[in-house]
Amino acid sequence: MLADTDMLNKSAIASVLAVLLTAGPLTRDAFAQAVIRGQIPSMTLTPVVAPVGRDTALAPASVLGVSAALPVSAVLAPAVVPVAVQDAPQSPTVAAPAKTAALDVIQSDVAPEKKLSALNETFDNQTPIEAETDVDAGPLPHIAEPSLYRISAKLYPDEGRFTAAGHIRLTMKERRASITLHADDMEITKIVFRPRGEKTGTSIDPKTLVWDAEQGRVTIPIGSKYEGKADLYLEIAAKLNTQGAGAYLSRDSYKGKMENYDVTQFESTDARRFFPMFDEPSYKAKFDLTLDAPAWHTVLSNMPAKRETTVGDRKIVEFQRTPKMSSYLLAFVSGRYDYIAGKIDGVPVRVYGHPDRVRRQGRLALQSLKKFIRWGGEYFGKRFPLPKHDVVAVADFTAGAMENWGMNIFREESLLYDPRRSGAQAKEVVLQVVSHETAHSWFGDLVTMSWWDGLWLNEAFANYMESKAVDRFYPKVGIWKSVEAGKQGAMRVDALVETRGVQTPVKTEAEIDAIFDTITYEKGGAILHMLDHYLTEPVFQKGVQLYIKRHAYKNAAPEDLWKALADASRDPRIAEIG
């Protein structure tokens, strides 16, 4: 994922960070005064809303020459009520659990205002049960491990809600009477646990769930202790998020009318807002996704569509199964999008965006994307790993872009470029962000850090690769000047007492969010740049290829990279870096 600061004019990063780190809590007025006083030079203060953490109120963010990221209409979307899922994966035949009075109302045909009241009641009472668990903050203990998710979701953007049902194929590695996984901001309306090989399962009363709101987890009691393979079936109902996290409501205008779309942003810990999951990088699994959306929507996900059926005013799109990947890389969009297309080395490549803009402004992205995909395959020693690659420009996106495998999502300013109106800086931004996200297809998606303390493995490497790729194909851009400016900004932050290491222990969601910063991106990238020059480029590349080959479709830790570089260079001292 490319954070906001990575798409900014890097010469101003140092000044921005100095204000952020010394001014205390940052308000809109404080930031405006900083600009007026000249503490932040060459900046245009634009009202952008950006979530700070998962559940905090929306806060302003500054962006250099970039328009607002989330329109107020998206933030102020009305709350609406989920209803029971329909036409979802068939649930096992079991006796239904006892329902609460509120759940009965949600699943009935009463007036919408009564459903809203009932839904709010269920959310308010979601954590009434206190229970002892052996799961602390930080990674889950891998007692239960998923291998396949089969999820079917119905999207209702005009009503601000969605429903979903699905099976999780998993293995209980120890005898336990409960399963702990991640879920947040949803009502779980049905649960069935079925040991593999048995024809019937056990229905679990939703009232018996133990919720941990602080960690975004839920513990499901399954009755007697069990070890072995099993199937967990769940049905959920939820509101579309309005702060750009999880499955969220996006809005854009078409022919003078505002329209509602569905977009996802799951990194780092928000896949759990879409469906109950083992929402950590080390729990890699395959995904079968089916989406039911308005018929006029273009519906996209990580993989190509396997089957598409229109029924009245609805469209049902079934996607091909993904390779093993982490939950935060799952993604979809549903809305009014047009595209331009190409192909490179047999891989279809498409640039999607607003119908009025993408055909004119998407050509630089398409041209550069084809170059970066071919170069990435050559550099990493492995062809592009998926059967297609889409990039999608959306109207409101909190990050610069996101590397969802096979379908990157971008803020419009990061992907669309109008050669008649846009300047050199806008061109550099598009080239940087496209190359950054493309590099993630190998370093981050194919091979993923085991836990978030290794985030720099993903982001610093993509940051460094973006510079090498842009310099290779667009040398006149002068990318190394921007790299140097970014490095100087990171050095200023690194000189402060409050600085941290590139690799920092993290446990909570707030701690994870906090390390998407200049230390991870810029300082981490500078370290890799030094290693590349110390080992020489051919040796460094050989080590990277060895790392990719050893850990493809798996997780890795920083010491795995050092080991690969040490083996490639025949210099055991490199392995001691970590």
Is residue 4 within 8 A of residue 68, CB to CB? The reply is: no
Write down the catalytic residue from 235, 437, 459, 466. Answer: 437
The 3-class secondary structure across 166-216, one letter per residue, is: EEEEEEEEEEEEEEEEECCCCEEEEEEEEECCCCCCEEECHHHCEEECCCC
Rounded CA-CA distance 431/135 in Å is 43
Q: Does the pLDDT value for residue 507 go beyond 90?
A: yes
Q: What integer pLDDT is reported at residue 91 of this predicted model?
A: 54
Structure tokens at 19: 């204000």
User: Who wins on pLDDT, 75 or 549?
Assistant: 549
Q: Does the pLDDT value for residue 61 go beyond 60?
A: no
Rounded CA-CA distance 288/167 in Å is 10
Rounded CA-CA distance 286/293 in Å is 22
Residues in the chain: 578
Q: What integer pLDDT is reported at residue 136 of this predicted model?
A: 72
- Residue of 1, 21, 487, 493 lying closest to 501 (CA atoms): 493
Structure tokens at 307: 């089957």
Structure tokens at 550: 């050893």
Percent of the chain with pLDDT over 90: 75
- What pLDDT, in 10s, does the model give residues 206-224? 999 999 999 999 999 999 9
Is there a catalytic annotation at residue 537?
Answer: no
Q: What integer pLDDT is reported at residue 1 of this predicted model?
A: 86
Structure tokens at 320: 């091909």
Least reliable range by pLDDT among 110-119, 244-253, 269-278, 404-413: 110-119
Amino acid identity of 370?
A: K
Structure tokens at 100: 């609460």
| Coil, helix or strand at residue 374 | helix
List the helix and strand counts (H, then E) for the chain: 16, 22
Average predicted confidence (pLDDT) for the chain: 83
